[in-house]
Amino acid sequence: MPQEVSVSYQAVKSKVYRLIDALVMGEKTQADVQESIRRWWELIHPADRPVARKYLSMVLERSIMAIDSIEEGLGEANEQEIVRTSAAKALKIVDRVVKQHATLSGSAI
């Protein structure tokens, strides 16, 4: 008889995060992760599966929200970087124009 696994929220979260980490680190492929989650699911007692499904849904939903937040934060950082770069270029152009104007008019800044 196979060993049953814990279906606490923390246990489910740990399982999911370990699989994500293994995928990110290149230790597992997507197929490996899918097989691992299938084997894990089979170890959960059928009576505990509704609770496990609930916790799994919660962990995955929160993980997706975290990824979305990271993407949005990165997008905002890139936009700010573009604005800073554009502003710096604009300031250089203005500085160059002012210096050229000063040289043409004969006055020093």
Q: What is the pLDDT of residue 5?
A: 78
Instruction: Give the predicted TM-score (pTM) of the model.
Output: 0.67
Number of H helices, E strands in the chain: 3, 0
Phi, psi torsion values for 34, nearest 5 degrees: -60, -45
Amino acid at 58: M
The residue whose two tokens read 């197929």 is: 31
* Whole-number Å distance between alpha carbons of 66 and 60: 10
Which residues of the chain have a pLDDT value below 50? 1, 108-109
Q: What is the pLDDT of residue 45?
A: 94
